[in-house]
Amino acid sequence: MARCEVVSVRLAALVLAALALPAAARAGDVTMIARDVPLGPRALAAVQPPIRFDMVGLHWQGSGSVRFRTHRLAGGWSPWTAADADALPDARSPERARTRLWHDGAPVWTGGSDRIQLRTSGTVTRLRAYYLWSRTGKQPPVRRVAVAGQPTILTRFDWQANEKIVRARPQYAPALRLAIVHHTVNANGYTRAQVPAILRGIETYHVLGNGWNDIGYNFLVDRFGQIWEGRAGGIDRNVIGAHSAGFNTGSVGVALIGTYQNVGPTPAQTAALVKLLAWRLDVAHVDPLSFLRFTSLGNSKWPRGTPVLLRAISGHRDTYFTECPGQKLYDELPAIAKQVARTGLPKIYAPAAKAVPAEAVRFTATLSAPAPWTVTVTDRTGTTVATGKGTGTKVDWTWNGATTAPAPYGWTIQAPGARSATGSLGGSPPPASTLTGLSAPAVLAPAADGSGATAQVGFALGVEAQVSVKLLDVAGRTVLSAPPALLEPGPQQVALAVGALPDGRYRVVVSAQPTGGKPVTASAGLVVDRTATGFAASSPALSPNGDGVQDSVSFSFALAASVPLRLELQQNGVVVATLLNATLGPGPQVAQWNGTDVSGTPVPDGTYQAVLTVTDAQGVVAQTLPVVVDTTPPQLTLLDATGLRFSLSEPATVTLLVNGARELKVEPAGAWHVPAPKAGVQTVSATATDAAGNVSPAVSFP
């Protein structure tokens, strides 16, 4: 008879102490602590989670299974949930080599929780719990990835992925053959603001808990119909994920955020899934209603080398022993595939070019509807050497002139309104090279302590390329360079240490050399000038309202020589106030601004720029600092006294008194909460102070 053990874990004091294996891990706004859970009855009763948590993941050894439920900070227990080991790398992947021989259960968003109960059934020899607190904060401005015909996809920047913990560069499959649909097995009642926190928690668990390179899924879709970029490497490239053991290479993993065993996804979520799959499978020219035979790379359900018949849109349970993506969602997949097939017509499916006897090449494809089609073959210079045409749903044309010009050739299959299919014969055509968005500081003023001595050079690549970053002097000589590196598409940043360079005018030059393509270069000017160093503000914000708190801001800097200078406050390039306009001698300098313009009138709330301009051997050199004028107090609202739930109109430091105990908390805009005392809440009093020193009216209970 299978044994069943239950453990009830209560929250101890919120102390991040040194723990047994493994230790605490921090990733951006995520804290994760793992603890082995003893399985003896007496030991189970003594286990306590080290922190409050809003996500939990479970690893275990043995042939048995694990279920759990959590007690929410707001009160009440969640339903019992099976810990589902629903994502692994392929057997041959380096990620798999780092994965211990454990069942790696998916991380589950529980919402703020202080207790957990665990049940083990069957043989479970070891059990480890990963507790995560993924902070819900204000979402940064949305950056939408722009690729022709795609739905809106929110990027890793939008959910603030922690790029520092990513273990390795992405790997790519030669082709994408199918989509595998998952669910993340968490409560469906999450808010829109909580979605980035859920994604950050999943990333942290997958990388620091499971030892994978990056988050396992390629895309995630929330219940509000938002589509999120998952694993890095390019949304329209065949990035190998870690979402379905044995079937990652050649598939795209899409996870719906929530649990869909007994309920289906929301209409918005289904619509977003349809749009995403219609676009992504069209990029790969895959028929969403087709079947394929896929050779497993190895897992417990399908041993390595086993051919498996799959649908082009499959559920995770088709490839692994799991309930994922939940029965309700799994039952809807055939209907979803039909919607995908009807979305974004017309389409070109399964384009191919195969050699046939007598050095000929046969081009084939299938169209989603009858249409005129054209096959074009070009030589290495881009000159058309052959064209075939026809009409109908079947493209079938043989080119017999493969020896008329030297390889390589490029080929294109086109139909009106459809995404063209392209390929090459006898080599690869040069890729389109893209180098955009070059940014570098206009002025660097290195100080004796080393501050201000690093230039952060940013840019974006459209294709994989060998990149060099150099700093040239006015004579065009290289005076500084970063080691050349092969970089993947996407945003990049390279640091140049300029502290040892003499003052002067330089040029940052970035060159990108894609494989087989033409190099592309971009440049930007940079001035190294030590005449004025240490330009800083006493505060990033001021509140000139006469209350004696941050009514003014002080600007400080040091001069190395006697030079004419100006210190101005500007907004959108317009001078608002002039604090200094004189020739000053060497040494430290300080100037104050009280938030008034040139006429002495208080300026309106907003963001301004402090501009320090000196004239020296380098010419006119300007440094800038942002400064915010803010006279409006934050709004602090007590949403739920017993659950200690609050909301803020802007980020602020909150002074909180609960049952007479004082606590300071730095909280973001929006809703947030703190754990309630075990004895309950008798009294509450709180105020909020923003960065400019404005204090909100107090809120209290009773």
What pLDDT, on a 0 to 100 scale, did the predictor assign at position 463? Answer: 80
Can you tell me which residue has the tokens 């300080």? 590
Report, as an integer, the average pLDDT of 19-23. Answer: 35
pLDDT surpassing 80 at residue 9: no
Query: The whole model's pTM is what?
Result: 0.58
Mean per-residue pLDDT of the chain: 84
Q: Quick check: bond before 41 cis, omega within 30?
A: no
What pLDDT, on a 0 to 100 scale, did the predictor assign at position 450? Answer: 77
Spell out where 316-420 has E strands.
348-356, 360-378, 384-399, 409-414
d(CA 449, CA 57): 45
> Model confidence at 14, in pLDDT bands (50, 70, 90)?
very low
Report, as an integer, the average pLDDT of 320-341. Answer: 92
What pLDDT, on a 0 to 100 scale, did the predictor assign at position 43? Answer: 47
Report, as an integer, the average pLDDT of 616-638. Answer: 91
What six digits make up the tokens of 517? 């393509």
What pLDDT, on a 0 to 100 scale, did the predictor assign at position 209? Answer: 82
What pLDDT, on a 0 to 100 scale, did the predictor assign at position 137? Answer: 63
At 516-527, the pLDDT tens digits run 677 889 888 999
What pLDDT, on a 0 to 100 scale, did the predictor assign at position 431? Answer: 44
Maximum average pLDDT range among 157-171, 429-443, 605-619: 605-619
Report, as an integer, the average pLDDT of 29-57. Answer: 74
> Model confidence at 149, in pLDDT bands (50, 70, 90)?
low
pLDDT surpassing 60 at residue 234: yes
At 180-204, the pLDDT tens digits run 999 998 888 899 989 998 999 899 8
Query: Which segment of 30-44, 460-474, 568-582, 626-640 scores lowest on mean pLDDT?
Result: 30-44
Can you tell me which residue has the tokens 């929110």? 154
Instruction: Give residues with Cβ within 8 angstroms of 137, minimum separation 6.
Output: 29, 196, 197, 668, 670
pLDDT surpassing 50 at residue 140: no
pLDDT surpassing 50 at residue 298: yes
pLDDT surpassing 50 at residue 412: yes
Answer whether 452's CB lies under 8 Å from 446's CB: yes
What pLDDT, on a 0 to 100 scale, did the predictor assign at position 427? Answer: 56
> Model confidence at 95, in pLDDT bands (50, 70, 90)?
low
What pLDDT, on a 0 to 100 scale, did the predictor assign at position 59? Answer: 86
pLDDT surpassing 90 at residue 312: yes
pLDDT surpassing 50 at residue 511: yes
> Model confidence at 6, in pLDDT bands (50, 70, 90)?
very low
What pLDDT, on a 0 to 100 scale, did the predictor assign at position 508? Answer: 93
What pLDDT, on a 0 to 100 scale, did the predictor assign at position 432? Answer: 43
What pLDDT, on a 0 to 100 scale, did the predictor assign at position 469? Answer: 94
DSSP state letters, 106-158: PPEEEEEEEEEEEEEES---EEEEEEEEE---PPPPP-B---TTPPPEE-TTT
What pLDDT, on a 0 to 100 scale, did the predictor assign at position 220? Answer: 96
Strands 435-439 and 454-461: antiparallel
Provide the total of helices (H) and of strands (E) in the chain, helices listed first: 5, 46
Answer whether 220's CB lies under 8 Å from 255's CB: yes
> Model confidence at 21, in pLDDT bands (50, 70, 90)?
very low
Give percent above pLDDT 90 in the chain: 42
Maximum average pLDDT range among 92-96, 560-564, 574-578: 560-564
What pLDDT, on a 0 to 100 scale, did the predictor assign at position 359? Answer: 66
> Model confidence at 404, in pLDDT bands (50, 70, 90)?
low
Report the 10 Å Cβ neighbour count for 534: 16
Strands 227-229 and 153-154: parallel
At 570-597, the pLDDT tens digits run 987 788 899 999 999 999 999 999 999 8
Report, as an integer, the average pLDDT of 205-215. Answer: 86
Report the 10 Å Cβ neighbour count for 219: 24
